[in-house]
Chains A and B, each alone.
Chain A
Amino acid sequence: MIMMRLMGLIRKEAYEIVRDPSSIAIAFILPLALLFIFGYGVSLDARDIPIAVVVDHPTTLTASFVGELQCSPWFHPTSYPSEARAEQAVMDGHAAAIVWLRSDFTRLALSSSHAPIHVIVNGVDANQARIIENYVNGAWLAWLKQRAVIQGMRLSAPVAAEARVWFNPAMRSRDYLVPGLIAIIMTLIGALLTALVVAREWERGTMEGIMVTPAGKMELLLGKLIPYFVLGMGGMLFSTIMAVFLFRVPLRGSIAVLIACSSLFLLTALGMGLLISILARSQFVAGMVAIVATFLPAFILSGFLFDIHSMPRVVQLLTHVIAARYFVGILQTVFLAGDIRTIIVSNCLGLGILCLLFLGLAIIRFRKRLD
């Protein structure tokens, strides 16, 4: 009896998902678009930054410095005849910085050791500005080193920094963005889609009809949870396959841990989705609440795009109630570092508490009643 009712509800939900274009858009097309945007489009890497180079008085010395910039993977230099023209290029967005070798550069470099290189950086994007600054310095150091070798001398810098990047040695932002996307996609399916479909049942009046049947509260809830759980896990699998095979993101941890943690997160997201739809009975309100309360925080406050440690203290505290925060942590660890027990356990604990809270509230608040 119970199985028959549950299967009936699940079958109904499956038909609706397959036949309703808006479900398909949220469950399949939106995730695909996000994967492509973040996989190919958005990059936080500083590579091939367009810079303007102004050389007032070209000599072999300046040519070798400009050559060093050209060889660098970080820059894409373009020569400008004057500083004013280069400035205009910065204004127009054609260049992010200006490297200016003044007319006395060669003379000073040869006569003394104080030859200034004038660097002007567009500071609007503070992060990129800092990166450019460092990279120009790096290019300059490399150039000096090279000159020293040519002149048969050793450059004697007292201290040399030997940086080594861990977990993402190629420093490809895609490698940490794409795993984080799994959290976003599962939030979309678990919270947004679920909230919308339950609200739709209220709007169309199907909920009222279904309430006055022998189907109990738990059956009605499971009838929603199970299909969207399967759909969400499908989204997870799909994103993982895309990440590993298309975007070549390493998967260093185990698949079992990935599945277990994803299930826990998905249940939390479903709990939020159900809770929203119980409180908001119109699709419009449910959609807005779901976007503001689940999707946007997952995007901004989860550490998916912006590092939590560099947020203000208050905001950092706030991120603790955002389920995606824990899941993004887990995902980035499992993909880039491996099954690191301490990180995974502590994050799962946070997720578990939120999961119990949201699912529990949804179960308590859901009633077979209109009032």
Chain B
Amino acid sequence: MDAVAVTNLAKSFGSGATRRNALKGISLRLPAGTMTALIGPDGAGKTTMLRTLAGILTPDTGEVSVLGHRLPKEALALQRRIGYMPQHFGLYEDLSVQENLTLFADLHGIARNARDGRFADLLTMTALGPFRKRLAGQLSGGMKQKLGLACTLVHPPELLLLDEASVGVDPISRREIWGIIREQVVTHGITILLSTAYMDEAERCDRVIILHEGEILARGRPAEISAPLEGRSFLFELPENISAAPRTLQSRMAGLPGVIDTVIQANGLRIVMEQPGPPAVPADLGSHGTLKPSPPRLEDAFVSLLYGRVRRHVIAAPRETGASDGTVVIEVHDLYRYFGDFPAVKGVSFSVRKGEIFGLLGANGAGKSTTFRMLCGLLPSSSGTLRVAGLDLRKAPAATRARIGYVSQRFSLYTALSVKQNMEFFASAYGLQNQKKKSRIARALEEFELTAYVATNAGDLPLGYKQRLALACALMHEPDIVFLDEPTSGVDPLARREFWTRLNALAREGTTCLVTTHFLEEAEYCDRLVLMSLGEVLAQGTPSEIKAAVRRPDEPAPGMEDAFISIIEEHERTSRRAS
């Protein structure tokens, strides 16, 4: 029995020149009791697909049947039987955890005597029991997401639709959320369709569907999809105490002929080739580590499938000018920031050297953005010292400010201005004039491959391009230091790769880069980083130092995520002992 049967589904938005086809004739079937992942770059149509199956979008053409109900006609009858968790699950923030659950129990018409047992189960599963009376608005990002999931599960659904349920949450909550989802399939036999930006999550599903620009590129079991990659995936193992930074090795590897993807991972570089056969590694490069064949992963397949469809971004070889000479350019000491009684940042200290890529890692609400805003002089600190380029930016003259660039979390671009107009505005704002302005804009357009979008309004750009434009604008005046606040949030794996390549090139030119991110695997791209949780720095150092600190006999090669989890757990144990 198929839980979902879709034939020739098409859906478009807008009209006339701005008409955009989100789904182009999709046909798919989901057998009951299976778990399917929907993956694809931004704007592939994942959300549109899920919304259509939830009965809140009307298809233009095609037949959609979900649990035997024809859509859109029988949407209401279907909605009694499914659970749907939108991308930003809107909890009622003025309602407590318990009141949110009760509301959804009321809406699903669950008998009062059947409720208490279900609530108790869900609260145990999500570990939200102690927070029953807390207002949803005061929960952390991970807890909110778990509560959202609990609300969709109040009435055991037959089909569960999840739109990026674990995006932006801390790794512990992510594991918990994944555990809850898994249990629904195993013990309750629920059919699940979920979209995700995490390839490791997709890999754990029964089936995977890869969407690209409204079309299905591939479908099948994860192993089936990655099978054609056999013989094309390699691991360049690096010893523990390597001499060169992995990111320098990575950029050289990426330039080798036939290489389509390189990723820094826990124990080395992952390399994917266009054709079977190992890359021709030059001797001087080869001496840094050992090249081994590796079983292909879903992510390799994903990248190779999209390789060629999405234009490959060649980044001009950076000029190796003033690389890191060890000068400290940013110094933070015992920094505090309170919002009312709430300490958002508690005693943070670190220093950043010239030409480094320095990461602030942590889940949403860890205090990364607050620290950042204080560094950029956008927010006064409650106490502590901070010096950027030797000056406190809050008191510094405009001339000093001109030496920094800032990309804010939501890419503060003018959505009603075109790409070119945005660039012109930022160039003027930084005091560039005439020929210099013209040449900088021309170079930025070319460097960031935005030439095709010159006249497009920034608001209409795909997310990955918005990110590029924001970066281009922030770099318009060639600053010494760039601050990037969650630049990869919500951006697909391809755009994220490209982003890190660009950052790599910038750092090699001597620009100091400060980046916040909640993608822990991105830590590997940083020279040094701090791990933050609830306003405190839990660990700092190079990625290998941080991982080495948590290495145990039972966990010989921990990834950054494992490291983060064990550091947080250790921190919780000590703070409990202290109190």
Interface on A for B, CB 8 Å cutoff?
1, 4-5, 7-9, 11-12, 15-16, 19-20, 201, 204-216, 368-371
Contacts and interface: CB of A to CB of B under 8 A. Distances in A.
Interface stretch (B103-111, B354-362, B449-457): B103-111
Nearest to A10: B106
Interface in B66-95: 72, 75-76, 79-80, 82-95
A8 B79 contact: no
Given A9-B106, A370-B51, A213 B79 contact: yes
Contacts of B102: 8, 11
A207 B58 CA distance: 17
A12 B89 contact: no
Contacts of B82: 212
Residue of A7, A15, A214 ringed by the most chain B CB atoms within 10 A: A214
A214 B109 CA distance: 8
B13 interface: yes
Interface in B20-67: 51, 54-58
A94 B58 CA distance: 68
A209 B58 contact: no
B234 to A, nearest CB: 43
A215 B88 CA distance: 20
Contact of B108 (A16, A20, A213, A216): A213
A212 B95 contact: no
Given A208-B86, A212-B84, A368 B56 contact: yes
Interface in B336-392: none
B107 A215 contact: yes
22 contacts: A5-B107, A11-B99, A11-B103, A12-B95, A19-B94, A19-B135, A204-B93, A205-B86, A205-B89, A208-B56, A209-B85, A209-B90, A209-B151, A211-B56, A212-B56, A213-B79, A213-B104, A213-B107, A215-B107, A368-B55, A368-B76, A370-B57
A213 B99 CA distance: 16
A16 B88 contact: no
Given A205-B86, A212-B82, A214-B80, A8 B54 contact: no
Contacts of A20: 94
Interface string B102-145: 11111111000000000000000000000000010000000000
Given A20-B94, A209-B151, A8 B55 contact: no
Contacts of A16: 92, 94-95
Contacts of B85: 209
A201 B82 CA distance: 21
A11 B105 CA distance: 13
A343 to B, nearest CB: 43
B90 A207 contact: yes
B58 A15 contact: no
Going nearest first, the 5 A-B pairs with the smallest beta carbon separation are A8-B106, A205-B90, A206-B90, A212-B84, A19-B94
B107 A205 contact: no
B91 to A, nearest CB: 7
Given A5-B107, A213-B108, A371-B13, A205 B58 contact: no
A332 B264 CA distance: 77
A7 B56 contact: no
Interface of B: 13, 51, 54-58, 72, 75-76, 79-80, 82-95, 99, 102-109, 135, 148, 151-152
B76 A206 contact: no
Nearest to B94: A19
B5 to A, nearest CB: 19
A284 to B, nearest CB: 14
B107 A9 contact: yes
Contacts of A212: 54-56, 79, 82-84
Contacts of A211: 56, 79
Contacts of B80: 214
A204 B80 CA distance: 23
A133 B254 CA distance: 91
Contacts of B57: 369-371
A369 B86 CA distance: 14
Nearest to B96: A15
Contacts of B90: 201, 204-209
Nearest to B93: A204
Contacts of B99: 11-12, 15
A212 B159 CA distance: 12
B94 A5 contact: no
B282 to A, nearest CB: 52
Contacts of B79: 211-214, 368
B109 A5 contact: yes
Given A8-B105, A368-B79, 17 more contacts: A4-B109, A5-B106, A7-B106, A8-B102, A12-B103, A15-B94, A16-B94, A205-B89, A209-B84, A209-B90, A209-B91, A212-B55, A214-B80, A368-B55, A368-B76, A369-B57, A369-B72
A368 B88 CA distance: 18
A371 B48 CA distance: 11
A215 B77 CA distance: 10
A205 B88 contact: yes
Contacts of B108: 213-214
A61 B138 CA distance: 79
A209 B56 contact: no
B106 A210 contact: no
A16 B103 CA distance: 12
Q: Which of B75, B99, B103 has the most CB of A within 10 A?
A: B103
A5, A7, A206, A210 — most chain B CB neighbours (10 Å): A206
B364 to A, nearest CB: 16
Contacts of A370: 51, 56-57
B157 to A, nearest CB: 10
Contacts of A11: 99, 102-103, 106
Contacts of A8: 102-103, 105-107
Contacts of A5: 106-107, 109
A19 B83 CA distance: 28
Contacts of B93: 204
Contacts of B152: 209
A207 B80 CA distance: 16
Given A208-B56, A209-B151, A369-B56, A15 B107 contact: no
A67 B250 CA distance: 100
Contacts of A209: 84-86, 89-91, 148, 151-152
A108 to B, nearest CB: 73
B76 A216 contact: yes
A263 B105 CA distance: 32
Contacts of A7: 106
B76 A214 contact: yes
Contacts of B109: 1, 4-5, 214
A265 to B, nearest CB: 29
A189 B475 CA distance: 48
Nearest to A216: B76
Contacts of A371: 13, 57-58
Nearest to B161: A212
Contacts of A15: 92, 94-95, 99
A206 B93 CA distance: 10
